[in-house]
A and B are shown apart, each in its own frame.
Chain A
Amino acid sequence: MASSTTESSRILHEIETLKSAKSDLERRISALESQLHGLNHPHNNGVCIASSTSPSAFPHGLSPDMIYRYSRHLLLPSFGVQGQLRLSKSSILVVGAGGLGSPALLYLAASGVGRLGIVDHDVVELNNMHRQIIHTEAYIGRSKVESAAATCRLINSTVEIVEHKEALRTSNALEIFSKYDIIVDATDNAPSRYMISDCCVVLGKPLVSGAALGLEGQLTVYNYNGGPCYRCLFPTPPPTTACQRCADSGVLGVVPGIIGCLQALEAIKVSSAVGEPLSGRMLLFDALAARIRIVKIRGRSLQCEVCGENSKFKAAQFQEFDYEKFTQSPLSTSPLRLKLLEPNSRISTKEYGDRLRNGESHVLVDVRPEHHFKIVALPNSLNIPLASLDGRLEEVVSALKEEEHKQSSESSGADVQLYVVCRRGNDSQRAVKYLQEKGFPSAKDIIGGLEGWAHEVDPTFPSY
């Protein structure tokens, strides 16, 4: 027993000694490798071994460092030196450093694009992190462009990264786009998509367009090789109610990740002139069903108002076009703030907080969808989603009666109040309007909803 213990401790000791020797050898090898690399480096001031075997750059123009870094690209017969060279001489602009832009930028920086531009005006938020994988927690509250640029530089210090920390507008789009060969649309709203496509048509730039929401994604290349522009496909903007946002409808993080990766791929194909870009075709991705469908779409429309035969849409028209008016939705992603009700049909979150503390007799109806209610809710609230309110008015009536009954046993006297709350205070106004028409004249909306509650009354109440 004792001898076996001694033996195993001897073996353990030997393993430790060998491991330490191994790591020492590895350190020395990697030091020598980097020394060798330094000798071969073109910027290495004169300390160069025989120039016949190691010129600073080969006739094709790739430096030894580039050959080593992109060796796996160069080994692809269909991509090779030619593809890498074209890529290294091209410039790509990614509009939006969010869910789509994050992976697109990571791959474009890693792949060795010559110049990579990033446009965004937003800051990194905690609820971005599950999908906007280029950002790290340290950057929360800071500019997305700065954060994305820093990550890109860490991955590939040889790529020129250009930061455009501003919102894209008709006033700056032409100037910014004109500095790049290819534009990647990684934005999240309809007016931006029309504006980016129109600007690409005016300047003759190919556009790699991706979109993702919920568990689905879409991808295509516009304005390239006789293919359509965004307006050829969608001449009339959709109703605003059809334009859902990730912040309202949710999105599984990896879904924009996949579409963003495909955007990087298409941008690489276009810039290196390799393969068949997804022009005149559209990729439809259904994550839940694990299905990818690639469909044939119409070509360029001769009647298109922007890229058609007789189009008069040029730089001047672009700069004067009102995309927010055209699509009836804002370019910024700020949520809607409705004002449907008279002030006397609304109360502030603070006021509601006071009434709650004073034990006022009331019924609180939460009109958010059920899966929202499950995330977090105010105590004693009754969940009747707005969509099903008209069929469930009875529940409101009986809740009020029950409260009245409680009150009469406590004999305090005042009427039972009816309050309505939702996430941000829009649906609650719609609900109050409806309730007032259906015989609940005193129904009141809580201004700003649960977001307002968290902001103004209870900072520990979770936001989502």
Chain B
Amino acid sequence: MIAFVVRRVLASIGVMIAVGLIAFAMFRYVGDPINQMVGVETSVAERAQLREELGLNDPAIVQALRFLARAARFDFGVSYQFKQPVADLIGARMPATLELAFVASILSLAAGIPMGVYSALHRDSALSRLFQALSLIGISLPTFLTGILLITLFSVVLGWLPSFGRGDVVRLGPWWTTGFLTVSGLKSLVMPATTLALFQMTLIMRLVRAEMLEVLRADYIRFARARGLSESAIHFRHALKNTLVPVITIVGLQLGSIVAFSIITETVFAWPGMGQLFLQSIQNVDIPIMAAYLLFIAFMFVTINLVVDILYVSVDPRLRASLHGMHG
């Protein structure tokens, strides 16, 4: 078990270093950092001096190591377009994105699991067919179209919900602003969170349905029936419990993609989060922000993957046994 954890941690660090080197290559070789930082009136001598000061004349390996060492301390340099430290810019926008992602995940679980269970237990009912049709539409509709549809209905036609921004936010401590505590903040959250949750919800629903159908065919379910247990005990205490293990894995892994997909949702709803910042940085070739965002997302994915892997092995005794078999 310990050997497994150590190996997974080392592999994760390897991935992070690889992504870090890609980020470094982007920063150093895509465009000239000096040209991006200074104005046209800067003389050649001043440019050369700045180049020397920033260490851009050092061997590439030294520069790469320095970049990685700084990145490990969340120092990504200064944004070309905003002339502010990248870490501050990202930090200021992180609460907006994380709150959105959090609410969207909860929403997709709360709706997706019951829908999946229902459509597995009542395969041919009208409601199940409706859910199946909805899930196909959920997968086919691009995220931004869902958002526009919601805006058209609830902002343009009905005028119930605001179509952009985060509403009023409350500052909690130096690092966090929250929209959870004001009415306008909560109202602003409804549509972006729904949009972001829709795709995940369809995914969870399809997964729960498929897993549940698989589990219901298993021998221990038949045995439970033979023992005369009630249908609800079989469905919920035996079947659902075993269905949820793979579901939780996938949901964990999907957390990262919720944050990535928030780029689209944030653009549709002008939500002041990290995704919007990243998109602006792509449009304005602001490499330090692009590099930092890439590393941030990579870190999140790698951490989640690692935690899920380790949890999986510690929860599932069969996997543990096979590990022992493999490594003595």
- A interacts with B: no
Chain A contacts to B: CB under 8 angstroms: none
